[in-house]
Structure 1
Amino acid sequence: MDFSDDSEIYDEEVNEIRPYMYEPRAVSQEEQSVSDSDSEFEDSSDDSFNGNVDEWCECGCCIHMPTAHERKCCQSTNIVDGKAESEGVPCITLHEGFQVNCLNIHVLETSYYEFIHNNGPREENQEIHELYRYLAYRRFTRWVYGLLPRKCRRVIPACAVNAIREQFPSEEYSGFRYPQ
């Protein structure tokens, strides 16, 4: 058998397959404690912030967010900024890809069918706007960051959150939460 094409996963010197090659590396306890202290800092609520949105928003489309880590503009994120620059738009919400992926009801309906296929039917009392808003957040993250590992979440820029909330309104919003 010739395994020359599979040289990454087959080590000819040892004559064995390396099955865990693409698994994430283990995190030492020291790294974990540093990570935990960082997440405690990021998770702290800053409801006392009375400053103007203009102090941190560069695109002009952001809204006030309740916590410090949610106050993030699309222009302050390299990946999002690159997508906006490629289209020549001042805000990611004006990008055609955002409009199609996150605000188009037909695209979200298709994502809804995939969601219920993988996760079962939605709860009886759950509003469809709530589910579409959730799916729009997921589609935005997939569009910008690609496929993320389980329990790896990214804060969505406030302007994108605002556009999605305007399209799929609710009386109450939960905000960003890190995984348990």
Structure 2
Amino acid sequence: RVSDYLWSVYELERAVEPIVNPMAYAFEPIRALRPLEVEEVIENPLVWGEERVGNNLWCKCGWCTPMPTVSICCQEADLGHVLRGHSCITMVRTFNILCREVDVLEVAMLSLKMSERKHWSVLLTAGNLFRLTAYRQFTLWARGHLGKKNRIPSPACAVSSIRAVFPSVEYHGFEYAYLYDL
């Protein structure tokens, strides 16, 4: 009886037509594009205009401080995916963990291999390395990996919050990679 059963299973399998040229990875998910691509942000910045420099009248979240260069609010920076209904990016728990916690930033420095680079030795005073790492953490979390020499201004509220934890005597402000490259 077992042999009869096996023979019937064999006959059923033979009746099924073999698949010719199967598609490899047919069930792999298709990568969704980000709502705002990096190139669009760089080509169409929302932040230019001397009317924004030195004041915070443009702020929509209530936490931005006047900046000497680029000024943008988290509410106009297309960060809805990380704001999660909060009025300001600095109120999001993830922001505070990723960008203001020394232990987290130390691990981020290891993953970015920042402490191994010779040109970082200049930045090792007064929290400069922590501040720079916090800016990078914010960009990675909020915008994703931008690639080498691609920079996007961070919201003034995020910059102010990071500077409050890691102060410096002198700040440089936002500069594009072609103007200033570390």
Alignment TM-score, normalising by the size of structure 1: 0.67
Shift in alpha-carbon separation, 1:124–1:76, aligned structure 2, 3 A: closer
Q: CA offset at residue 5 of structure 1?
A: 2.3
> The residue matched to 2:164 in structure 1 has which SS?
helix
Identity of aligned residues (%): 34
> The residue matched to 1:135 in structure 2 has which SS?
helix
1:58 partnered with 2:60 = yes
1:112 partnered with 2:109 = yes
Unaligned runs of 5+ in 2: 1-20, 27-42
> What is the letter of the counterpart of residue 130 of structure 2?
Y
1:5 to 5, 14, 24: 24
Q: CA offset at residue 122 of structure 1?
A: 3.6
Query: What's the RMSD between the two structures over aligned residues?
Result: 3.1
For 1:19, the equivalent position in structure 2 comes to none
Could you list the per-position Cα deviations for residues 93-124 of structure 1 after superposition, in whole angstroms to 9, with x for gaps in the alignment?
A: 01011011101111001112232366358416
- Structure number with greater Rg is 2
For 1:72, the equivalent position in structure 2 comes to 72
Unaligned runs of 5+ in 1: 8-37
* Equivalent residue runs for 1:1-180 within 5 Å: 4-5=23-24, 46=50, 49=53, 52-53=55-56, 55-67=57-69, 70-78=70-78, 80-84=79-83, 86=84, 88-114=85-111, 115-116=113-114, 119-120=117-118, 122-123=120-121, 126-127=124-125, 129-180=127-178
Number of equivalent positions: 142
Asked whether the equivalents of residues 126 and 167 of structure 2 are also in contact (C-alpha less than 8 Å), the reply is: no
> The residue matched to 2:121 in structure 1 has which SS?
coil
More helix by share: 1
